[in-house]
Amino acid sequence: MSIDRGQKIDLLPIAVRDRTFHWGERTYLMGILNVTPDSFSDGGLFNRPESALAQAHYLVRCGADILDIGGQSTRPGAAEISPEEELNRVLPVIEAIRRELPVPISVDTTKAAIAYASVKAGADIINDISGATFDPEMLPTVAELGVPIVLMHMRGTPQTMQTMTDYQDLIGESYQFLQARVEAAIASGIDKSRIILDPGIGFAKTYDQNLEILRRLSEFRSLGCPILVGVSRKSFIGRIVNQTDPQARVWGTAGACASAIASGADILRIHDVPEMRDVCLVADAIFRHCG
């Protein structure tokens, strides 16, 4: 499909908790806090409320603008857990963080019931890797709650997605999917200013396709929503830098993050907040004329 890459759309700021997000002025950091035993990079490190709370304080102190809490691993092949187990993982952490920190909290879930309970416990944003396609109640629930939602592009499920990478037009098909999800969200009563889009790096994408998305990221800006990019420690970076240990992919991640900022990413979802904060400060000074 033909996409007008030159189209510039001014985005309305949104206020969440103690801060207002002025899109385009700087890059915002979403710090990852997985409270799981099996996430690909940090599984088992923060799956107790005490360790998760300590990590939350650390991420905020280092510059995280949002904390993204996930109780269900979405790595390729990850087993799905019950809603009860997911709630048992995320709610104590949300409640503990909310008692001590004013930072916006995002919950990484595809289940409307988890989204609802999480917001009632103190969360502020829903981050749905399925683009709100797994649970038909997700969009109406988010509309009722009146919170922002991140809609990501993917195919299949974490169990099947890496077998579903055959695209005729990767960018065009991803764009059309996200456009349809924006329209569905608006039809459900979600204000467009509360919709954030994620092209889904690593989700039903091959190594070459991940690179193509980063090269052509600016084409998604004409959808008129802030763009979130999640490249942190992912396997395509490991392939480039010949590093099998995800935690040793920090500077490879930095290169991908700088590329995303140059193409107009508004939020970076990352593990290594202090290092990526410096990347953002420098890349914003160059590409956004900040600082």
Query: Are 158 and 139 contacting, i.e. CB atoms less than 8 angstroms apart?
Result: no
Q: Please, are residues 93 and 35 in contact by the beta-carbon 8 Å criterion?
A: yes
d(CA 101, CA 123): 12
Domains of the chain as residue ranges with CATH:
28-287 (3.20.20.20)
Contact indicator for 263, 237 with CB cutoff of 8 Å: no
Which entry of 26, 181, 269, 277 is annotated as an active-site residue? 269
Q: Are 270 and 260 in contact (CB under 8 A)?
A: no
Q: What is the pLDDT of residues 89-101, one digit of tens each?
A: 999 999 999 999 9
* pLDDT, tens digit, 9 for 90 and up, residues 142-180: 999 999 999 999 998 888 888 899 999 999 999 999 999
* Catalytic-role residue among 234, 239, 277, 288: 234
Distance CA 165, CA 20 (A): 37
| Verdict on whether the full-model pTM lies above 0.85 | yes
Give yes or no: 234 in active site.
yes
pLDDT digits (tens, 9 = 90+) for 165-221: 999 999 999 999 999 999 999 999 999 999 999 999 999 999 999 999 999 999 999
